[in-house]
Copies of this chain bind each other. A is one copy, B any other.
Amino acid sequence: MTLGIIGLGLIGGSLGLDLKRRGYADVVLGVEADAVSAAAALKMELVDEIVSFDNCIERSDIIVVAVPVGTAVRMVCDILDRFKEGGYRDKIVIDVCSTKEQINQATHYHPCREQYVSTHPMAGTEYSGPWAAMPGLFDGRACIFANAEESSPKALKTIEQLYDVLNMRPIHMDATAHDVHTAYVSHISHITSFALALTVLDKEKDEKHIFDLASGGFSSTVRLAKSNAAMWVPILTQNHDNVLQVIDTYIEKMQQFREAINDFDGDKIRELIESANRIKKILR
């Protein structure tokens, strides 16, 4: 089986690495617009060969679109067009993007929709680029399949096997629900980290102090603020409505803290903290 990966960043690169090592793919082809990243991915053996977009579509049985979600929407549609034009009835394309509603809307009426499987492997780090790729990145994490009923049973089964090789837990969900849930569980975490970094950088003009005083707690809370704009700008704009709603709830909670602290209201602060502590039961 020949696997084509378009976009050799953290996710694309890590996919190539493990799917080859674990014997799922015989050959891994890579497409990468950035020449430095392409050369690095080849040198790091994340892929077997760097090829052109056209060559990738032609030769691959499964094509993974692993580019930022803004570009991915157009690219998946384009690839389905080529499946149609080329009469490729057995090829499959998947995406791995963090928002699922828009890409599913865009592909919904495509005559080759059945050959597309819409997934979101929920794994990653705050780093990006092929140099951030790592073996085992996906092991044990959840992988969302969005609107899986629109894919052909055969395509779906093939991609379920792919994620099974990566040791991911499959979760089925419709695209709209996916975008609501990830706004709460993933997107807002990034925004709170970005805002925290901006707050500290704004006030602590003397960066030496931040460095000296940064405890493990601060580092872990602000970790996601290292995440890159190319990935996050399209996520936040595509998931606009849900993200705004979460931000509003979040600011409301922050205002409750502000008010309780402002009033020296120890009982209220305790109540808020103890409510927040319930997260313990959910996270191992």
Residues of A within 8 A of B (CB): 122-126, 141-142, 144, 169, 171, 181-182, 184-186, 188-204, 207, 209-229, 232-234, 236-237, 240, 243-244, 246-251, 253-258, 261-262, 264, 266, 269-270, 272-283
Docked pose: A276 CA to B201 CA in angstroms: 8
User: Are A279 and B186 CB-contacts (below 8 A) given A194-B273, A229-B273?
Assistant: no
Known: A144-B213, A201-B278, A214-B282. 19 other contacts (CB 8 A): A122-B215, A123-B216, A169-B212, A181-B213, A185-B209, A185-B210, A186-B213, A186-B215, A197-B278, A198-B253, A198-B276, A202-B249, A211-B283, A220-B224, A221-B224, A236-B269, A237-B266, A240-B264, A244-B258
- 19 A-B residue pairings within 8 Å (CB atoms): A141-B216, A169-B212, A189-B221, A192-B254, A193-B221, A198-B256, A198-B276, A201-B276, A202-B253, A203-B249, A214-B283, A217-B224, A227-B273, A227-B277, A228-B277, A232-B273, A237-B264, A240-B264, A247-B261
Which B residues are CB-close (under 8 A) to A141? Answer: 215-216
Q: Which single member of B250, B258, B261, B279 contacts A225 (CB below 8 Å)?
A: B279
Docked pose: A23 CA to B109 CA in angstroms: 73
Q: Taking chain A's interface residues, is the majority helix, strand, or loop, or is none over half, making it mixed?
A: helix
B261 touches A255 (CB 8 A): no
B282 touches A125 (CB 8 A): no
User: Are A255 and B251 CB-contacts (below 8 A) given A185-B204, A199-B184, A219-B283?
Assistant: yes
B218 touches A276 (CB 8 A): no
A272 touches B198 (CB 8 A): yes
CB nearest to A200 among chain B residues: B184
Docked pose: A211 CA to B184 CA in angstroms: 12
